[in-house]
Amino acid sequence: MQRPLFSDSAGSGRSSFGRANFGTQKKHRFLYILLICGVMAAGGLGVSLLSAARADKNDSVYQQLGLFGDIFQRVRESYVDEVDDTDLIEAAIKGMLTSLDPHSSYLNADNFNAMKVQTQGRFGGLGIEITMENGMVKVVSPIDDTPAAKAGIQPEDYIIAVDDESIIGMSLSDAVDRLRGKIGSKVTVKVQRAQDEPFDVSLIRDSIKIKSVRYEIFDGIGYVRLTTFSEQTTPGLIDAIDDMFKQQDGNLKGVILDLRNNPGGLLDQAISVSDAFLEKGEIVSTRGRDPEKGNRVYATSGDIARGLPMVVLINSGSASASEIVAGALKDHKRALLLGTRSFGKGSVQSVIPVSNTAAMRLTTARYYTPSGISIQAKGIEPDIEVLMARIETLEGGITREENLKGALDSKEDDEADASDSQPEQKFKQDEIDYQLARALDLIRGVSAFSVLRPNS
């Protein structure tokens, strides 16, 4: 007797149910197979659609390149004057790069060589760092002891004409070419400052020799000014700090690092300057299109300021590398920032050679401070905002008890002795700027509190 596929212990009804369920299972199994095949087909279709989309995109690019070729050929054949092919192609490349952002550009042989010379700390021109904003040439900052600085050019000025010829709408590289010229030659620039009427400034072009580090001691407080970040900056900074310690027999009260109107420069110098004052921690990070390929740079042990109180001066002319240093020292609470908000250039430009003589400067990443804040278009906010101002002594003199006629114990000899006992000041309050004066006061206050601190 053949054994049934399903047992019939509950009668014929139960047996018929078992057969019906078996048929349903076969149906479901068939549907599952169809579903799997459908998924596989959909996957294949997805790949096909993706490939098709890429093909369509490539076709579009080829069409645009074909359009460029057609226009190029039409200009060669029909333009009113004969145009050099190389000039046309170079102009097209410049237009492509400058359309991306104000800092991407094409560097022909002359521009490329000029850039390499500038990073070494010596070049010819007016001594002014500029950028492009809304089709206008904007001053980032003048460089100390250059024609531009001596003529009173200020950060955030706009240069709208050179020798009575408008440069509004001109590319940044072309504007630079107009501003540069033979050493000793005269140039007149028209400046737009805030909402004031435009005015002319005459300058004599000169060979710009950048001394990137200057230093001085004010009442036992070390003051170091960095004018740019060139190959000379970090060695000059270390030498300056060491020399000030020697002059004070190791008894400096603190250090002021002045980054005002410093337009930036070499990234590796910004990192090494930050590292010089930090014992540990992240200095800066860069992130490009692919977030997984970001780069982080960390400090090594050693503080050339020996842990002394620090104040960093910044303003709207502090850009790029200056903002990296200011952001790192602020985030690690190594220094207090005093002044006004910085420029806000937080993008990374890579110089990519495209031939033996030319290169392109391409924005490839953004800078982030150790706390993860982007510098781009935001800048670095100071801990203490102090606007630039001028210190003036109010008229009227000073009256004290000893100045009153017939005052007790008031003698001319005593007054003379009291005057002689005052410590000699190496500077006059009205001969330094207001922001620096406030920074000096801040470090004096910290130094005074450290003396008053009770022994534990």
Q: Is the dihedral of CA 8, 12, 16, 21 positive or negative?
A: negative
Angle (CA) 178-181-184 rounded to 5° is 140
Quick count: other Cβ atoms within 10 Å of Cβ 118? 18
Contact 266, 252 (CB under 8 A): no
DSSP 156-169: T-EEEEETTEE-TT
Instruction: Check the CA dihedral 12-13-17-18 and report its sign.
Output: negative
- Listed in sequence order, the residues at least 6 apart from 404 whose beta carbon sits closer than 8 Å to its beta carbon are 410
HSE value, Cβ hemisphere, 13 Å, CA-based, for 114: 15
**Is 331 a catalytic site residue?**
yes
Closest CA to 383 of 308, 439, 317: 439
Helices 85-98 and 12-78: angle between axes, nearest 10 degrees? 140
Contact 140, 317 (CB under 8 A): yes
Query: Helix crossing, 172-179 with 85-98: angle to 10°?
Result: 110
Instruction: Please choose, from the candidates 432, 430, 445, 450, the residue with its C-alpha nearest in 3D space to the C-alpha of residue 384.
Output: 445
3-class secondary structure, 343: coil
Q: Which long-range contacts (CB under 8 A, 24 or more apart) does 12-18 make?
A: none
Amino acid at 345: K
Dist CA 456 CA 452 (whole Å): 12
Residue of 171, 258, 331, 342 with catalytic role: 331
Catalytic residue among 258, 342, 345, 347: 345
Residue corresponding to tokens 């010089």: 276
Give dist(CA 311, CA 331) in Å, integer. Answer: 13
Active site residue 345: yes
- Find, among 158, 267, 144, the residue nearest to 208 by Cα: 144
Residue written as token pair 């049934």: 4
Q: Which of 104, 230, 318, 320 is catalytic?
A: 320
Residue with structure tokens 């600085």?
149
Is 421 noted as a catalytic residue in this protein? no
Reported residue count of the chain is 456
Give the catalytic positions in this structure: 320, 331, 345
